[in-house]
């Protein structure tokens, strides 16, 4: 794969993941059809697939098994997709546009959105637990890691802190902590699960990949905040300026635009630095760090 | 344990499970504290613990490892508890009373109820995946089974069919199918996971336990419908007469009260019959079938 340029590699992974997601989601004609249709509406045909890209990029470090990578990538994307569906609901962010399409509770109804999220979380664990090309002991560890990243000490915990922070003025440290849970935990899980599709990790590898994930996760959020403040809704595929309108603390509101941009660039360099031990095999992870900082949407 | 009478055995399991749930839930002082408090409010100090009782009763068939049983029982109870929290939300059943306490969205708020459910589902998988006394290959199978029982081909699927059925006149077969998914799938998972804490299951054992689970699962729902039609809210710890008021199809509305009672009794006998191959070791499973049919709340 290394002979492909980054854009080709990325397009290839995205196409593979789209096919795998379609295979791993229940068919739309199966009962309950409305729920299954809505699950497919939620997951398929959109999104940057950042987490799957991280899985595959990290898998490239150790020539990981493609079947295991597909399952790990889809599990992470399903967890991410469910979190967006629930996050968009009226009792949370009350958003009507996501990935350029009406959100699930708008396209269907609130009860369906609730169930879509719940069912996608279960589906994520089923997809990963059905991997049959990995040593079972390692797979158990991967399932535990996914659960921790998704739960109250990870993504859900970050959402809860985010909710409690509306209207408060957070310090940069508090903001960082919130994002480390809300988006960082799942990005870290993507990097680790991708590598674990290849082999058991020693402490040095865990530490290096953890440092990379931390930098990329924060960079991702800093850039999100920059884009929310500067881009328009059509470009983003979701409502722009939403955070400011909701009075949510952001990097831009705390650091200003210029310092936020400098921080993103610093984090990109930190990410590259963390990958030094892996040499040439880390090409895709380096390119992804660049993409995450330089993206326009 | 066999020298205890059923009531003593049940009280012992319930106390053990309460302690284990408390251990396996994040402490209330950990950030995010409101989410963790609400998770503990949801799960602790109430409920009949039917699924944990089935886990332990089934574990008794093969002298299963107590640590594994505690994890499986708590995982199932967390999935069940999360489903109740989401089911009670305004966009679903909009219920204000559960287990004699205000529902989570009433005691806290809707966003917290949403996150409590999401986090509890993840916690369930983490608790089971952290079991270190079972062979990893068997544990992977158990995690897959839990995910299937919880997802769109299990509990969430049943919820979706239930939602789509409001105001429709279902046939008995359609009603049965809905309940087999909505409550039956998780009860079956309880019985199978309990047994799997003891050993790998052969096809004959899987079939016998499947038949027991199916009978007990349907009996549970038939009796629920009978109680909803005949008991008062104080006894039930939730709003009585809710199904009729919501125009939901029930066994009582389809079969009438007398035939529903006869059906429950027939299912109890079916459950006993399915356990014949297991002899004396199945005492607790038989007693649980009796309890499920003869309960008053």
Write out pLDDT tens, residues A162-207. 998 877 888 889 899 999 999 999 999 999 999 999 999 999 999 9
Check pLDDT > 90 for residue B239: no
In this prediction, the residues of chain A whose per-residue pLDDT falls under 70 are: 1-2, 233-246
Interface test with A, best of B82, B145, B152, B162 (most A CBs within 10 A): B152
* CB-CB under 8 Å, A86 with B152: no
Q: Domain-by-domain residue ranges, chain A? A: 6-294
Position B168 scores a pLDDT of 80
Position A241 scores a pLDDT of 67
Give how far the C-alpha of residue B25 lies from the chain's centroid of Cα atoms, to the nearest Å. 18
- The arithmetic mean of pLDDT across residues B272-280, rounded, is 97
Position B244 scores a pLDDT of 65
Using a CB-CB cut-off of 8 Å, the residues of chain A touching B109 are 91
Residues B118 and A124: beta-carbon distance below 8 Å:
no
Query: What ipTM did this prediction achieve?
Result: 0.94
Position A137 scores a pLDDT of 98
DSSP B101: E
Instruction: Tell whether B150 is within 8 A of chain A (Cβ).
Output: yes
* CB-CB under 8 Å, A148 with B126: yes
Nearest by CB to A126, which of B147, B163, B164? B147
Position B246 scores a pLDDT of 66
Q: How does residue B170 score in pLDDT terms, banded at 50, 70 and 90?
A: confident
* CB-CB under 8 Å, B125 with A143: yes
Check pLDDT > 50 for residue B1: no
Instruction: Tell whether B159 is within 8 A of chain A (Cβ).
Output: yes
Instruction: Tell whether B175 is within 8 A of chain A (Cβ).
Output: no
Interface test with B, best of A86, A112, A115, A132 (most B CBs within 10 A): A115
Token reading at A1 = 């794969």
Summary mean pLDDT of chain B: 93
Contacts for B24-27: CB closer than 8 Å, 24+ residues apart? B24/B71, B24/B74, B24/B78, B24/B123, B24/B127, B25/B123, B26/A152, B26/A153, B26/B123
Architecture of domain B6-294: Orthogonal Bundle (1.10)
Q: How does residue B5 score in pLDDT terms, banded at 50, 70 and 90?
A: very high
* CB-CB under 8 Å, B31 with A118: no
Using a CB-CB cut-off of 8 Å, the residues of chain A touching B89 are 114
Q: pLDDT tens, B243-265?
A: 666 677 889 989 999 999 999 99
Nearest by CB to B121, which of A92, A121, A153? A121
CB atoms within 10 A of CB B229: 17
Nearest by CB to A164, which of B30, B32, B121? B32
Using a CB-CB cut-off of 8 Å, the residues of chain A touching B156 are 35, 115, 118-119, 122
Portion of chain B with pLDDT greater than 90, in percent = 82
In sequence order, the β-bridge partners of residue A190 are: none
Chain B from 12 to 71: CB within 8 A of any A CB: 26, 30-32, 34-36, 39
Chain B from 88 to 147: CB within 8 A of any A CB: 89, 91-92, 109-112, 114-115, 117-119, 121-123, 125-126, 129-130, 135-137, 139-140, 143-144, 146-147
Q: pLDDT tens, A50-73?
A: 999 999 999 999 999 999 999 999
Residue A43 and residue A76: Cα distance in Å, rounded?
11
């Amino acid at each position: 794969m290394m002979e492909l340029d980054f854009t080709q590699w990325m397009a290839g992974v995205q196409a593979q993941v789209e096919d795998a997601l379609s295979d791993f989601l229940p068919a739309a004609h199966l009962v309950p059809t409305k729920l299954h249709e809505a699950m497919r509406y939620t997951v398929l045909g959109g999104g940057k697939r950042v987490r799957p890209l991280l899985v595959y990029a990290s898998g490239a470090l150790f020539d990981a098994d493609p079947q295991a990578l597909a399952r790990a990538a889809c599990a992470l994307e399903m967890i991410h997709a469910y979190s967006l569906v629930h996050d968009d609901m009226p009792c949370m962010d009350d958003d009507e546009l996501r990935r350029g399409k009406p959100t699930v509770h708008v396209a269907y109804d609130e009860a369906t959105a609730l169930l879509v999220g719940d069912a996608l979380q279960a589906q994520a664990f089923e997809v990963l637990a059905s991997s049959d090309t990995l040593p079972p002991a390692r797979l158990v560890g991967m399932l535990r890691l996914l659960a921790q990243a998704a739960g109250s000490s990870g993504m859900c915990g970050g959402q809860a802190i985010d909710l409690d922070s509306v209207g408060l003025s957070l310090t940069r440290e508090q903001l960082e902590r919130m994002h480390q849970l809300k988006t960082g935990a799942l990005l870290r899980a993507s990097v680790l699960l991708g590598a674990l599709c290849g082999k058991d990790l020693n402490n040095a590898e865990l530490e290096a990949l953890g440092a990379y994930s931390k930098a990329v996760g924060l960079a991702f959020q800093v850039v999100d905040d920059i884009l929310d403040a500067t881009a328009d809704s059509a470009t983003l595929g979701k409502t722009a300026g939403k955070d400011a309108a909701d009075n949510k603390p952001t990097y831009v509101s705390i650091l200003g635009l210029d310092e936020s941009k400098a921080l993103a660039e610093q984090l990109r360099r930190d990410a590259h630095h963390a990958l030094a031990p892996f040499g040439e095999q880390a090409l895709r992870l380096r390119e992804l760090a660049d993409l995450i900082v330089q993206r326009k949407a």
